[in-house]
Structure 1
Amino acid sequence: MYLEYFGCDYLPFSLTPNTQQYFGAQCHHDAIVTLNHALVSGEGFIKVVGEVGTGKTLLCRKLLNEMPQNIYTAYIPNPFLSPGELRTAVAKELGVAITAQTDQQAFTQIIQERLIALHNQFDHVVLVIDEAQALPVESMEALRLITNFETETQKLLQVVLIGQPELDDKIGLPELRQLKQRITFSCELKELNAAQIYDYIRHRMVKAGYSGPEIFSFEACEMIQKATRGTPRIVNVLCHKVLMLLYGQGQYYATPEHIRIAALDTEACLPVTLPWRLDCKAQWRTAALCTGALCTLIICLPLIQG
C-alpha cells in the first residue's frame, strides 16, 4: 500500500496493540507509575478504567511485558465467566488443575497451597483481568473471596482490574461494597487533546520508520481531535485513511480537506468543517479575485465600448 511511499517498515496506525509503539500520554504514564507502586505494596485491588479505544489493552500488555521477575503474573483476557468458570480459569493461570467436581472447600485448599508455594518463589502474585466490566456480579464476589487468602503479613493474591467505565457502575452496586472497599489504587485513562495528538502521530510515524518532513500539522491535529474526540483508536483509523488519500494523490502533506474527507468516511468520527481562519482566508481570496476582476472590467470597459 503506502508503506514504501512513506518509507515505513509497517503500518504506523495499525489497530493491533503494539507495545513497541506505546506513546505514553500523561494519563498512561501516571497509570503505569501508580500500578508499579501499587504492585510493590502487594495489597488490595487496583482498578484502571478508560473509555473504549483509550489504550487499556495496550497498557495491560505493557504492564505484563515489563513485570519484574520477582512478581508472578496470571492473566485473564476474557472474564465473562460464571463463578465456577472463573475459579477454573484462575487455577489454570496459577498452574494447578481443578475439575468440575471440585467443590468450594477443595478449591480453597488447592489454591491456598499453590499461592503459598508461589510466595516461596516470588515476592508477589498478581492476577490481571482485562475487560473486567464483563465480569458478572456473582463472579466478582467469587473473585473477592479468592483474594481472602493471606499470611500473617500480606495478601497472597493481588488483582488488577482493567475495564470500561461500566466497571465503576458495577463496583458501585450495594452487593459489591466489600470489593469496592478493597480497591486501594484507581487510575483513569482519558482521551487526548490536540497537542497530545500531534505528539502521538509524530511518535507513531517515527516508530514505523518515517523520516521525512511533517505530514500532520498542528492545525490538522486540531481537526483530528474534534473529529475523533481524542480517542486514540479512532485517531489511528482516521490517520490511516489520510495516508491512503495522500498516497493516492501523490502528496505528502495532510490538508484540512484530507481530514474532512477521511472523517466523513469513518463512522466513529464526528463531521468536521474547515477551520474558521481557513474559511476566512478562502473568503478573502475570493473577494480579492472578484475585486481584481471588477477593477479590470472598469478599466477595460471604456476601451471595449470605444
Structure 2
Amino acid sequence: MYNEFYGFSEKPFEITPDPKFLYFSPPHREALDGTIKSIKNPSPFTSITGEVGTGKTILIYSIFIRLDEKVKTTFIFHPSVTFTELIRYILQDSHQKRIGKSKEVLLRQLNEYLLKKLAMDETLAVFIDEAQNLPKEVMEELGKLEEKISGVSDRFQIIFVGQPEFEGKLSSPGLKQLSQRIGIKYQIRPLTKEESMEYIDYRLTIAGSRASEVFTPNAISMITDHAKGIPRVINILCDNAFLMGYGLSRKKVDSDIVSQVIKEMEGPVSHKLPSTEILTSVKRFHWISFRHHSPRWTISFLILSLLCLGGLVHLMHGTLQRNPAVSVVGSIESITGNTEISSTKRVPKVSDSLRKQDSRSTVLQPVSPSPASQSPKHEKPELAEIIVVESGQSISFLAQKYYRMTNLTLVDLILDFNPEINNAHLIQVGQKIRIPKITKEYLINEFPDHIWKIHAGTFRTPGFAKSYRNEPILKGKTIEILPRKVSPTDIWYRVMVGTFDNRDEASKAIDLLKGKGLLPLFGGIPKTERDPSDWG
C-alpha cells in the first residue's frame, strides 16, 4: 500500500522470512556458517536456539539456499507428533513411495533411503523448527536413532531449531544421550541497540531507501528501545508506522507516529509481542504476511470514504444500511459456476445459529441458483505445480506441504482449481492435482454491472460471518454466506463481503483485512475463533 508513496521497491518490513533480508549479526553469521559446515562434515545433531522473533526461521531459509545440490532437506515445523509420524513425514517429504505404517518398517525404509544417498554421495538434513515442542518420548527415540541406522548415520543429520526451553528440556531425565550427541549448539541473542539501528537501515537499503530518508532519529530510537532487540517486533512497528504515515501523507515517520502505533497495538509491546503463541503461529505460516492491527488513521480514512459513498446511495435510493446484512445463499454457483447444493435443500440450522449470534442479521432461506449471466468473473490463481498423488496423501496434506499451513480456505482454493474432485476428503493415488499459488486476486470476484466482492474465507460453520460483520472497515458492506457441498456429508461455508465499486477498492480492503490477520488464505484467524477445527 505504501511502497510507491515512500519510493520502496518492495515492502522492507514483512514478517514473512525472506533470506535476502537477513541481517547478519555476529550470532546469525556464526550459526549460518557453522551449520553449513556441520552438514558438510556431519555431526549427528546441531541445535540453534533463541527467543521468539529473533530470526531463527529466516536463518533456516538462508541456510537452505546456500546448500549445494548434494544436500537434500526436510523442514518440519509442527513437531508435536509421535516418533513414527516423524519418520513417516521425513520419508513423505523425501518423495518416497509405498511408505509403511509400523515404526520398524519405517526405520528400515529410512535406512534403505540413506543407503541410496550414500551411493550417490548425498546427505539428508532434517530441520525441526519449534523443537521445544517435541514430545519427550520422541526426543528419547531420536537420541537412539543413530544406533538404528548404523552405517549410514553420517548421511543423516538433524538440526533442532527452537526457543531456549529446548535446552532446558535436554536436561530432563532420559534425554542425556540426546544431549550428549548434539555436538554443535548456537544461541541467537536479541540485537543490541546499535545492531537494531543497522538492521532497520539494512532492510530499507534493500528496498531502495535509507533509514535517514524515511525516519527521524527520535522515531528510530523509540522503535529500537521498544523492540528490545527482537527483529520481528521491529518489523511490526516499522510496517505499521509506514502504514500510518501513508494514511497521514507524511513522507517522514516521526516519533509521534511511532508512539501512536505503539498505542494502537493494544498496549506495550513486550519482547514476546504480544504472546509466544501468537508469534509462533505467525512464524509457522511460512511466506504468509501477518500484522496485528491496521493503524487507526488508515481505517478511519477508509470508513470516511465508505460513509461518503453510502450517503450518495442514500440520496439516490433512500436506503442506507447501518450494519452489514448477513444472508445465506443456497448455491455456490455464484462463485464456481457449478450447482453444488440443491436449491430446494435447506441447510441445517444456518438461520437459527445466525439469529442466536445477532438478532439484527438478515437471514435469507436458500434460493435458486443464479443464472449463468449473473455469475462472477473469478480470476484463477497462477499455477504453481502439478503433482501426482502418493499413498497416504490428502488435500490437507498437500496444502500443508506446499503452503506450510492448512485450513479450509486453502483446501477450497485447491478444490476450485481441480473441479473434477467431488469429495474434499478423498483423492486417488496417481491422480494429478493442480496446486495454485496464493495471491490476493483469488479473493476478488467481479460480478455483472461492474461490482466486486471479496471471498473472506471458508469455514466449517457459518458463525464466522460475525467476525467480519463487526469489523469497522466493512461497515455498510453486506456479508453473505455461501454453502458449498464438499463431500456427500459435509457442507462448508464461504463468507463473501461486498459490494465494492472497483477492483482497487476491493484490493485495499483485502490489504486491511490481511493486516489485521482476518484472512485465512494468508494465515489469519478470525477474531471470534474458538476451535481451530471449525476453520480447518
TM-score between the two structures when normalised by the length of structure 2: 0.47
- Show structure 2 runs of 5+ residues with no match: 271-536
Q: 1:213 to 1:165 in 2, by over 3 A?
A: closer
Q: 1:63 to 1:148 in 2, by over 3 A?
A: farther
Q: Secondary structure at the match of 1:147?
A: helix
CA RMSD, Structure 1 to Structure 2 (Å):
2.3
* Residue matched to 1:227: 226
Q: 1:169 to 1:128 in 2, by over 3 A?
A: same
Q: 1:166 to 1:27 in 2, by over 3 A?
A: same
Equivalent residue runs for 1:209-288 within 5 Å: 209-210=208-209, 214-267=213-266, 269-270=268-269
Q: Secondary structure at the match of 2:155?
A: coil
Q: Secondary structure at the match of 1:184?
A: strand
Q: Is the 8 A contact 2:111 2:152 kept in 1?
A: no
* Residue matched to 1:108: 107
Q: 1:99 to 1:124 in 2, by over 3 A?
A: closer
| C-alpha distance in 1 between matches for 2:260 and 2:165 | 33
Q: Deviations over 1:42-95 (max 9, x none)?
A: 022100001111111111111112212222222222211112211211222334
Q: Deviations over 1:134-173 (max 9, x none)?
A: 2111112222333335566962311101111121122221
Structure 1 stretch displaced more, 182-191 or 192-201: 192-201
Higher helix share: 1
Q: Secondary structure at the match of 2:121?
A: coil
Query: Could you tell me which amino acid in structure 2 is paired with residue 187 of structure 1?
Result: Y
Q: Is the 8 A contact 1:79 1:131 kept in 2?
A: yes
* Residue matched to 1:43: 43
Q: 1:69 to 1:63 in 2, by over 3 A?
A: same
| C-alpha distance in 1 between matches for 2:162 and 2:269 | 25
* Residue matched to 2:126: 127
Structure 1 stretch displaced more, 25-34 or 142-151: 142-151
Query: Could you tell me which amino acid in structure 1 is paired with residue 10 of structure 2?
Result: Y
Query: Could you tell me which amino acid in structure 2 is paired with residue 96 of structure 1?
Result: Q
Query: Could you tell me which amino acid in structure 1 is paired with residue 205 of structure 2?
Result: V
Tell me how many residue pairs correspond in the alignment: 270
Equivalent residue runs for 1:145-224 within 5 Å: 145-149=144-148, 155-210=154-209, 214-224=213-223
Structure 1 stretch displaced more, 144-153 or 188-197: 144-153
| C-alpha distance in 2 between matches for 1:268 and 1:229 | 15
| C-alpha distance in 1 between matches for 2:80 and 2:153 | 29
Q: 1:166 to 1:211 in 2, by over 3 A?
A: closer
Query: Could you tell me which amino acid in structure 1 is paired with residue 199 of structure 2?
Result: Y
Q: Is the 8 A contact 1:220 1:254 kept in 2?
A: yes
Q: Is the 8 A contact 1:8 1:208 kept in 2?
A: yes
Q: Is the 8 A contact 1:172 1:180 kept in 2?
A: yes
Q: 1:18 Cα deviation (Å)?
A: 1.1
* Residue matched to 1:64: 64
TM-score between the two structures when normalised by the length of structure 1: 0.80
Q: Deviations over 1:99-136 (max 9, x none)?
A: 56x43333332221211111111343211111111211
Q: Is the 8 A contact 1:195 1:218 kept in 2?
A: no
Higher strand share: 2
Q: Secondary structure at the match of 1:148?
A: helix
Q: 1:103 to 1:195 in 2, by over 3 A?
A: same
* Residue matched to 2:29: 29
Q: Secondary structure at the match of 1:48?
A: strand
Query: Could you tell me which amino acid in structure 2 is paired with residue 255 of structure 1?
Result: D
* Residue matched to 2:74: 74
* Residue matched to 1:137: 136
Q: 1:266 Cα deviation (Å)?
A: 2.3
Q: Is the 8 A contact 2:46 2:183 kept in 1?
A: yes
| C-alpha distance in 2 between matches for 1:87 and 1:47 | 19
Q: Is the 8 A contact 1:28 1:59 kept in 2?
A: yes
Q: 1:248 Cα deviation (Å)?
A: 2.9
* Residue matched to 1:5: 5
Q: 1:178 Cα deviation (Å)?
A: 0.6
| C-alpha distance in 1 between matches for 2:135 and 2:25 | 31
Q: Is the 8 A contact 2:84 2:106 kept in 1?
A: no
Q: Is the 8 A contact 1:22 1:58 kept in 2?
A: yes
Q: Which has more radius of gyration?
A: 1
- Show structure 1 runs of 5+ residues with no match: 272-306
